[in-house]
Amino acid sequence: MGATPSANYNANIVDIAQLQDIIGSGYVNEAKLVKTGAITRDNRPLTYGTNVINVIREVFNKTSAGQAPASDGTISFKDVTDAECRAPVFVRADGANLLTLQGLISVGGVLDYASLSAEVSSKGGAMIDDSAVKVIEGVAAANTANQSGSDTIWTLPTLNAARWKRGDAGNQFQNGFLFLRSELMEVLQSGGLVAPTSNTWGLIGTEVSLTGMIPTIQGMYPVVTDKISLVPSVGNHYAYLLEKGGLIIRGSDAPIIEIAKIPDGFGNRIMFAVRVAMGVPYMGWNGASDVITDTDLADSANWSLKVSATKAKLVPLVRWETDES
């Protein structure tokens, strides 16, 4: 069954199942956050419903202290406890008209298997990327214990305050990520190169000046994305500190793809949808709707801490507020 370009679209795409197999679950890897290593992929298939449940079981790790029994003594036994964490399952979809006549009179009008699968994978990854940023925003807003900063200029001490907001879990940000908007990254890079009182780069400054690339910031890799929402206060920004693999995405299904004839016209419509679940360890989803938008994912009211408040530091995410001026 050939997949060569042709003006007749139906001659190219005659087996939707084959197209789905070509795309598979690889579209998720097109998301920027997945490429960085910030996201852990859980390839187990999704169950039916709007939530998946992950259970964090505690047996011996409630406290680090052990018991000191006498030679003829006994020890006490702990009860096993479970912390139930729910990740929302949501669907993202898109569609396009593929016009037969456009393929006859212009370049690029008709798509074959390979190019169409690339288009679907790219858009699927972009949609996952949008939602991942909103999950980070919603979770970070809900977990108030892991928030730091205010309307202050970016300095090394204020960044340190954010990092160590998690107490002795702050060192787990090593090899993690710092998500920020481009406006804030511009201030960071410029201030670090010219203002020793702010955050000097020291010996590495020459290399940063030459390449324009910052390797790490306090051991965290900077990820610049303007998909992060602006703070209502003018000039302020939220940046997010995230452990490596701190965001979990589950789902191994290929996209759902349908092709239908355009009514009263020459051509076809292609529609596709992807279904995934996303969450952050120790945080749970509270939303009740079966239609979950990116606005819902970013709403702190839909997330809550699923362990005791004293263990909020276990959540691998901190929100840091700073000023771009």
Q: 12-29, pLDDT tens digit by residue?
A: 444 666 667 667 667 777
pLDDT band for position 139 (50/70/90)?
Answer: very high
Distance of CA 100 to the CA centre of its chain: 37
Q: What is the mean pLDDT of residues 299-309?
A: 91
Residue 4 confidence (pLDDT) above 50: no
pLDDT band for position 194 (50/70/90)?
Answer: very low
Domain assignment of residue 154, yes or no:
yes
- Say whether 178 sits in a helix, a strand or coil: strand
Please state the domain count of the chain: 1
Between helix 16-23 and helix 113-142 the angle, nearest 10°, is 50
Please state, for a pLDDT cut of 90, what percent of the chain lies above it: 22
Tell me if 152 sits within 8 A of 158, measured CB to CB. Answer: yes
In terms of pLDDT, which residue wins out, 296 or 155?
296
Q: What is the structure's pLDDT at 79?
A: 58
Cα torsion at 76, 79, 80, 84 (round to 10°)? -140
Tell me if 24 sits within 8 A of 121, measured CB to CB. Answer: no
Domain assignment of residue 16, yes or no:
no
Q: What is the mean pLDDT of residues 260-276?
A: 82
Q: What is the structure's pLDDT at 13?
A: 45
Q: What are residue 193's phi and psi, to 5 degrees?
A: -90, -30
Q: Which two tokens stand for residue 185?
A: 């990254």
Tell me if 323 sits within 8 A of 238, measured CB to CB. Answer: no
Domain assignment of residue 11, yes or no:
no
Give the C-alpha separation, 301 to 59, whole Å.
30
Domain carrying residue 312: 32-60+69-323
Domain assignment of residue 14, yes or no:
no
- Among the ranges given (41-50, 123-132, 198-207), the one the predictor scored with the smallest mean pLDDT: 198-207
In terms of pLDDT, which residue wins out, 255 or 234?
255
CA 194, 196, 198, 199 dihedral sign is positive
Q: What are residue 189's phi and psi, to 5 degrees?
A: -65, -45
Domain assignment of residue 12, yes or no:
no
Residue 124 confidence (pLDDT) above 60: yes
Q: What is the structure's pLDDT at 178?
A: 92
Task: Tell the burial category of 126 from Cβ atoms under 10 Å away from its Cβ (0-12, 13-18, 19+).
Answer: middle
Q: Which two tokens stand for residue 253?
A: 């299904």
Domain assignment of residue 241, yes or no:
yes
Q: What is the structure's pLDDT at 131?
A: 93
Contacts of 199 (CB under 8 A, 6+ apart): 154, 155, 156, 159, 188, 191, 192
Domain assignment of residue 242, yes or no:
yes
CB atoms within 10 A of CB 37: 14
Q: What is the mean pLDDT of residues 35-54?
A: 79
Q: What is the mean pLDDT of residues 159-176?
A: 90
In terms of pLDDT, which residue wins out, 150 or 131?
131
- Among the ranges given (35-39, 99-103, 210-214), the one the predictor scored with the smallest mean pLDDT: 210-214
In terms of pLDDT, which residue wins out, 172 or 21?
172
Domain assignment of residue 254, yes or no:
yes
Q: What is the mean pLDDT of residues 81-85?
A: 61
Largest CA distance in the chain: 92
Checking 165-174 for CB contacts under 8 A at 24+ apart, the result is 165/313, 165/318, 166/313, 166/315, 166/318, 167/313, 168/313, 169/313, 169/314, 172/243, 172/316, 173/218, 173/219, 173/220, 173/241, 173/242, 173/243, 173/318, 174/219, 174/220
In terms of pLDDT, which residue wins out, 204 or 161?
161
Q: What is the pLDDT of residues 207-222, one digit of tens each?
A: 555 555 567 777 888 8
* Residue 215 half-sphere exposure toward CB, CA atoms < 13 A: 10
In terms of pLDDT, which residue wins out, 126 or 318?
318
Q: What is the structure's pLDDT at 77?
A: 73
Q: Which two tokens stand for residue 155?
A: 């300095």
Give the C-alpha separation, 145 to 141, whole Å.
10
